[in-house]
């Protein structure tokens, strides 16, 4: 029995990867130096896996931005607007697809299945695929030459790649499969010629809800790949859920199949018990949770492994994580500031590798070979479970009385709309932003000085007030209608709230990649959640004191806090969401009591929490909507509740969005080129809505005419009376000059639209 890994974090222990990329983008690092620095990070990750005792080490999972983008570029699937003329694309083309240029919009970005990782969506359209560079081959040769590692190259599987792509009609899927398969075959043959024995082909799409006809296409794919490269072994890797059509997947002409035994709800194990496992295949047993930061219950994992070895021979099992370790931080070794009981219960990527090696050792030599580790793991988990943080009587009593808590507004939307129109008297097509303004180097420096004790509380508060005042004045000068305070005191939209709620803790270096070089440090929800004092009232009330325009209170919603945190594993996610919701309700009520009459409770992560199986969607959406409404339902009629969502396919959950019962919702639609607008042609939506009119994740500044196109398209299906105009997301990552220029253009586009639609509205 061997241990295997499926993927390793790219960012480096101290985010060296992020720093190198951003230095290159700002012209502070030469391309040659960038390549050298990223190579060092890549090799260090491989060496770490080797030192932890991992037998099968993945190569080719490292990327300069995103692994799906890598696959598109490798196959020459580069939209014409990026000026690609053939050959191996250079970095300017690669990064243009990811980030855009002054003349070309970036490719769309969206969630990787139900995670908080974002991938770049391939655009196929009329592209003619061709192999530009065999990236897995280069990674395989490098690992072998530099470190003596006989790695297992990783590829995004053909079916997953195409199902995640856009730019082709459904009836063209089969023809696209046949266009790509020769290129996949070429990649595999070149790897075989170089001496590679195994290739890991990731097909997480097989863990979603697929029809029988789709399995026929998958069978065709692997029949063809087996025929094109008969001398190399294929490890078909699934993750994030159980496979629906287990017998069909087990029968595919591959040499190994990886299954997730953590997030499968027990269904993969049940399938193996009922149908067995092919005697000619290797089983990749995903036993260690690749998305959790908690130390594994090794006794339980060993019991599951024992069950599997009763069905599949031990020498045909590899012990592996449930998915790539991309989704967890690199190492918990640096978290020395955490309370010992909590620290001992953590396992990041490096610690998970150790757990894998231990389980494989037990599989070979028996449990006694790892008995001290089994006992230590059990003791650490038990100590945390018995801690006061997980036994808060007040929180538990509120959850027990949940049925008596209000989760509906006191008036209908029509009643609220009239009350809010009377109070606010906003113009047609009101303008606003999503919440945050640029977090400049000066702001980050001030926060560091304050946290280190170099600045007093009074110094830091004065600095934050000065930033708020500057941007309140800028919003007035720009002519926006509804202001925000700018969130300058906030490090992250989840971390900020977690620091002020009980039950949360923060790491020193627990960073994970969200998209591109954007790394986040998710809070850890380790105990019961409770509000101890107001979190946002001071800054919001100060901002409102500077202007007669309404200033929105800005909160992150319960589902986003849940989905963007590492969550305790001893309670259901639903119960934890309700704990957060009840704490946020108290903050909403505190804002309203302080005179703040517009309150935005953002839920950008609502959709990403959807289970991969469609039959499980409604149950999740029911409790997610209930959690949001628990947070927002006790305010007055005239208090306007806003929410925001970004980078998701919303047409699947339009009904749930409406059920949130927010008075105004803003939704990203710029990178998807307005495709979401089509959803409103099939679904009636009567509440206030803003569809982001420009992409804030790109440094380019769109002209007013470009935004006008977006506005006109939206108002073909939405009423001007319900439409708001805003950027697609918060402006935290943009520079001040970019932000001001883009917002000035947005206001200009709005004025043009008002002149046009005011006439049409009055005429109707």
Q: Which of 362, 383, 404 is the last residue of a domain?
A: 383
Q: Is the pLDDT of residue 670 over 80?
A: no
How many other C-beta atoms can be found within 10 angstroms of the C-beta atom of residue 715? 19
* Any domain includes 402: no
* Any domain includes 575: yes
Same domain, 227 and 139: yes
* Any domain includes 34: no
Same domain, 231 and 374: yes
**Strand, helix or coil at 551?**
strand
What value, to the nearest 5°, has the Cα angle with vertex 342 and ends 370 and 523?
120
Residue 269: which pLDDT band, with cuts at 50, 70 and 90?
A: very high
* Any domain includes 236: yes
17 is in an annotated binding site: yes
Average pLDDT, the chain: 94
Q: Is the pLDDT of residue 146 over 70?
A: yes
435 Ramachandran zone, left/alpha/beta (phi>0; psi -120 to 50): left
Q: Which of 364, 383, 402 is the last residue of a domain?
A: 383
Same domain, 171 and 222: yes
User: Among 143-152, 189-198, 710-719, which is the least confidently predicted range?
Assistant: 710-719
d(CA 750, CA 427): 11
Going by C-alpha positions, the residue among 300, 276, 270, 275 that lies closest to residue 288 is 300
User: How many structural domains does the chain have?
Assistant: 2
Same domain, 154 and 223: yes
Q: Which of 363, 383, 403 is the last residue of a domain?
A: 383
Going by C-alpha positions, the residue among 164, 174, 161, 172 that lies closest to residue 201 is 161
How many other C-beta atoms can be found within 10 angstroms of the C-beta atom of residue 14? 12
pLDDT of residue 764: 39
User: Among 160-174, 675-689, 736-750, which is the least confidently predicted range?
Assistant: 675-689
Same domain, 496 and 566: yes
Which whole number is the average pLDDT over 467-475?
A: 98
608 is in an annotated binding site: yes
Same domain, 487 and 360: no
d(CA 252, CA 236): 9
Same domain, 126 and 257: yes
Going by C-alpha positions, the residue among 89, 322, 313, 56 that lies closest to residue 198 is 56
pLDDT digits (tens, 9 = 90+) for 498-523: 999 999 999 999 999 999 999 999 99
User: Among 121-135, 485-499, 674-688, which is the least confidently predicted range?
Assistant: 674-688
Same domain, 172 and 224: yes
CB 709 within 8 A of CB 691: no
Phi and psi, residue 512, nearest 5°: -135, 155
Same domain, 314 and 423: no
pLDDT of residue 84: 93
pLDDT of residue 684: 77
Residue 759: which pLDDT band, with cuts at 50, 70 and 90?
A: low
Which whole number is the average pLDDT over 347-375?
A: 97
729 is in an annotated binding site: yes
* Any domain includes 697: yes
Helix (H) or strand (E) segment spanning residue 179 = helix 173-193
Active site residues: 697
434 is in an annotated binding site: yes
d(CA 664, CA 650): 16
* Any domain includes 41: no
pLDDT digits (tens, 9 = 90+) for 176-205: 999 999 999 999 999 999 999 999 999 999
Distances, alpha carbon 641 to alpha carbons 51, 662, 714, in Å:
52, 5, 22
602 is in an annotated binding site: yes
CB 262 within 8 A of CB 286: yes
107 is in an annotated binding site: no
Same domain, 618 and 717: yes
Residue 664: which pLDDT band, with cuts at 50, 70 and 90?
A: very high
Same domain, 372 and 420: no
Q: Which CATH number is 450's domain given?
A: 3.20.20.210
Domain that holds residue 641: 414-649+656-763
* Any domain includes 27: no
* Any domain includes 622: yes
Same domain, 511 and 435: yes
pLDDT of residue 668: 77
18 is in an annotated binding site: yes
């Amino acid at each position: 029995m061997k241990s295997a890994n499926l993927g390793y974090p790219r960012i480096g222990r101290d985010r060296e990867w992020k720093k190198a990329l951003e230095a290159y983008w700002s012209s502070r690092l030469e391309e040659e130096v960038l390549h050298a620095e990223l190579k060092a990070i890549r090799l260090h990750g491989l060496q770490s896996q080797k030192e932890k005792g991992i037998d099968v080490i993945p190569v080719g999972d490292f990327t300069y931005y995103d692994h799906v983008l890598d696959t598109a570029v490798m196959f020459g699937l580069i939209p014409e607007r990026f000026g690609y003329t053939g050959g191996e694309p250079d970095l300017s083309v690669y990064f243009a697809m990811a980030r855009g240029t002054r003349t070309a919009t970036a490719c769309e970005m969206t969630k990787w299945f139900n995670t908080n990782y974002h991938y770049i969506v391939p655009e196929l359209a009329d592209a003619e695929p061709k192999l530009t560079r065999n990236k897995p081959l280069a990674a395989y040769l490098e690992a072998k030459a530099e470190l003596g590692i006989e790695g297992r190259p990783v590829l995004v599987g053909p079916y997953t790649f195409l199902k995640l792509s856009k730019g082709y009609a459904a009836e063209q899927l089969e023809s696209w499969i046949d266009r790509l398969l020769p290129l996949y075959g070429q990649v595999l043959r070149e790897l075989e010629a170089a001496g590679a024995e195994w290739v890991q082909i990731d097909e997480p799409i097989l863990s979603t809800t697929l029809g029988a006809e789709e399995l026929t296409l998958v069978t065709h794919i692997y029949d063809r790949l087996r025929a094109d490269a008969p001398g190399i072994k294929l490890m078909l890797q699934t993750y994030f859920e159980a496979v629906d059509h287990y017998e069909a997947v087990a029968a595919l002409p591959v040499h190994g199949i990886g299954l997730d035994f953590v997030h499968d709800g027990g269904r993969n194990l049940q399938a193996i018990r009922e149908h067995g496992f092919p005697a000619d295949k290797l089983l990749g047993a995903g036993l260690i949770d690749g998305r959790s930061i908690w130390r594994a219950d090794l006794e339980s994992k060993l019991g599951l492994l024992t069950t599997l070895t009763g069905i599949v021979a031990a020498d045909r099992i590899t012990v592996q994580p449930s998915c790539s370790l991309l989704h967890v931080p690199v190492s918990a070794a640096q978290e020395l500031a955490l309370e010992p009981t909590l620290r001992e219960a953590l396992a990041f990527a490096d610690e998970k590798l150790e757990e894998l090696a231990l389980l494989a050792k037990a599989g070979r030599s028996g449990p006694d070979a790892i008995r001290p580790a089994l006992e230590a793991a059990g003791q650490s988990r038990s100590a945390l479970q018995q801690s006061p943080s997980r036994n808060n009587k007040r929180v538990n009593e509120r959850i027990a009385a949940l049925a008596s808590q209000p989760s509906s507004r006191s008036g209908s939307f029509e009643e609220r709309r009239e009350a809010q129109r009377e109070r606010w008297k906003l113009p047609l097509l009101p303008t606003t932003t999503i919440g945050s303004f640029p977090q400049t180097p000066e702001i980050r420096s001030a926060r560091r000085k304050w946290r280190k004790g170099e600045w007093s509380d009074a110094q830091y508060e004065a600095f934050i007030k000065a930033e708020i005042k500057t941007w309140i004045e800028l919003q007035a000068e720009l002519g926006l209608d509804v202001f925000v305070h700018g969130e300058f005191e906030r490090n992250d939209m989840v971390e900020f709230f977690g620091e002020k709620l009980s039950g949360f803790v923060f790491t020193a270096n627990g960073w994970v990649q969200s998209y591109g070089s954007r790394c986040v440090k998710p809070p850890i929800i380790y105990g019961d959640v409770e509000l101890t004092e107001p979190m946002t009232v001071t800054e919001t009330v100060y901002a409102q004191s500077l202007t007669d325009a309404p200033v929105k209170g800005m909160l992150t919603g319960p589902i986003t806090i849940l989905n963007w945190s590492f969550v305790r594993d001893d309670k259901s996610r639903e119960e934890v969401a309700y704990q957060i919701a009840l704490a946020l309700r108290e903050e909403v009520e505190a804002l309203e009591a302080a005179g703040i009459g517009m309150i935005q409770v953002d839920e950008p992560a609502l959709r990403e929490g959807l289970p991969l199986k469609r039959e499980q969607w409604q149950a999740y959406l029911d409790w997610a909507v209930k959690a949001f409404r628990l947070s927002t339902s006790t305010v007055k009629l005239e208090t306007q509740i806003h929410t925001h969502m970004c980078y998701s396919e919303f047409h699947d959950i339009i009904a749930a969005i409406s059920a949130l019962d927010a008075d105004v919702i803003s939704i990203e639609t710029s990178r998807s080129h307005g495709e979401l607008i089509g959803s409103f042609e099939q679904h009636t939506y009567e509440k206030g809505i803003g569809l982001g009119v420009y992409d804030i994740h790109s440094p380019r500044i769109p002209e007013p005419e470009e935004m006008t196109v977006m506005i006109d398209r939206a108002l073909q299906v939405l009423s001007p009376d319900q439409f708001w105009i805003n950027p697609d997301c918060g402006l935290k990552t943009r520079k001040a000059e970019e932000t001001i220029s883009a917002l000035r253009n947005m206001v200009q586009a709005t004025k043009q639209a008002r002149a046009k639609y005011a006439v049409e509205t009055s005429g109707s």
